């Protein structure tokens, strides 16, 4: 009995040793991976902190009433960003009034009503996914050919807003569909079990439940559109506008104005560009704050 017992004990000891060795290796690998994650996070935070510190250090001295009340000027002491700020806000309003309703309605139809087995529905879904990955300059070329020249709108603010809305559609549609998909089927089944129609269930139950995700995706798409430059340059956005723009006039926006000021050699224009960046950041942070508030206000626990 001593021989078999000794052999079994040896095998058990070796198994325990292998298990402990494997655990040590896994522990070392986990520690290395965690250190890599912490290092990557610190690098990003440090870079962002340095960037923001530099922008605020350079821009705060120039963030005064002149920047909001005056238009661009060759004299940095008189230069302001009023036309660009107004145009950026107007574009955001046009996007909210046109692109958002279309994107949300499309997402609701594709997710709740469209026959999933039809080939043309699958083709539409595939194209939406592909459009979300297309470079923004392609949308600018499309806007130049179709809106500016084809429809004869010319290089006006409305054309720029519409092409940004077209670029924004895929992002919002995908986010809205994900939000609708996250609503449990029990909500739909419960509503229809009580005698409600599919449309009533979607309108009164599913959409309110999906508002947090839809709002977050919409604000992210809108924020991306507000910061775009290439599509607007392609459809003829001006680099110097001293008057308050309208829907059917030429215009410039904050990203374009920032780029123009940064190119100038005078140090004062560099400071004005930093101040304009602060304004753009404030607009984007406000929009994201609204998205967070809506998410927390309407979020439900399933």
Q: Is residue 202 domain-shared with residue 112, that is, in the same domain?
A: yes
Q: Is residue 79 domain-shared with residue 33, that is, in the same domain?
A: no
Q: Is residue 224 domain-shared with residue 265, that is, in the same domain?
A: yes
d(CA 278, CA 35): 33
Q: Is residue 35 domain-shared with residue 143, that is, in the same domain?
A: no
Q: Is residue 86 domain-shared with residue 55, that is, in the same domain?
A: no
Residue-wise pLDDT tens digits, 113-165: 888 888 888 898 889 988 888 888 899 999 999 988 988 888 899 999 999 99
Structurally, the chain folds into a number of domains equal to 2
Q: Is residue 24 domain-shared with residue 103, that is, in the same domain?
A: no
Q: Is residue 244 domain-shared with residue 214, that is, in the same domain?
A: yes
Full residue range of the structural domain in which residue 167 is found: 65-298
d(CA 233, CA 188): 46
Q: Is residue 93 domain-shared with residue 14, that is, in the same domain?
A: no
The predicted model scores a pTM of: 0.81
- CA nearest neighbour of 201 among 220, 225, 185, 215: 185
Q: Is residue 224 domain-shared with residue 287, that is, in the same domain?
A: yes
Segment 194-210 shows an average pLDDT of 87
Q: Is residue 143 domain-shared with residue 224, that is, in the same domain?
A: yes
| CATH, residue 289 | 1.10.3720.10
Segment 236-263 shows an average pLDDT of 89
Residues with Cβ within 8 Å of 132's Cβ and at least 6 positions away in sequence, in order, are 170, 171, 174
Q: Is residue 47 domain-shared with residue 70, that is, in the same domain?
A: no
Question: Rounded to 5 degrees, what are φ and ψ at 278?
Answer: -60, -40
pLDDT of residue 153: 87
Q: Is residue 47 domain-shared with residue 80, that is, in the same domain?
A: no
pLDDT of residue 178: 92
């Amino acid at each position: 009995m001593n021989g078999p017992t000794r052999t079994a004990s040896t095998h058990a000891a070796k198994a325990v040793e292998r298990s402990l060795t494997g655990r040590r290796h896994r522990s070392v690998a986990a520690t290395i991976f965690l250190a890599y994650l912490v290092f990557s996070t610190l690098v990003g935070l440090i870079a962002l902190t340095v960037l923001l510190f530099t922008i605020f250090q350079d821009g705060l001295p120039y963030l005064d009433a002149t920047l909001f009340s005056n238009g661009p000027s060759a004299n940095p002491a008189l230069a302001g960003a009023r036309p660009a700020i107004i145009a950026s806000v107007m574009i955001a309003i046009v996007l909210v009034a046109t692109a958002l309703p279309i994107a949300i309605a499309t997402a609701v139809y594709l997710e709740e009503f469209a026959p999933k087995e039809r080939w043309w529905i699958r083709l539409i879904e595939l194209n939406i996914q592909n459009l979300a990955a297309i470079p923004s300059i392609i949308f600018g070329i499309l806007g130049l050919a179709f809106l500016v020249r084809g429809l004869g709108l010319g290089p006006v603010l409305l054309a720029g807003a519409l092409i940004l809305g077209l670029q924004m559609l895929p992002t919002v549609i995908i986010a809205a569909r994900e939000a609708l998909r996250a609503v449990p089927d029990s909500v739909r089944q419960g509503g229809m079990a009580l005698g409600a129609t599919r449309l009533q269930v979607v309108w009164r139950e599913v959409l309110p439940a999906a508002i947090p995700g839809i709002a977050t995706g919409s604000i992210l798409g809108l924020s991306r559109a507000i910061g775009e430059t290439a599509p607007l340059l392609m459809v003829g956005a001006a680099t110097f506008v001293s008057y308050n723009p309208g829907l059917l006039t030429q215009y410039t926006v904050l990203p374009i104005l920032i780029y123009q000021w940064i190119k100038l050699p005078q140090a004062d224009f560099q400071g004005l560009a930093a101040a304009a960046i602060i304004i753009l950041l404030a607009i984007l942070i406000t929009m994201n704050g609204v998205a967070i508030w809506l998410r927390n206000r309407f979020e439900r626990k399933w």
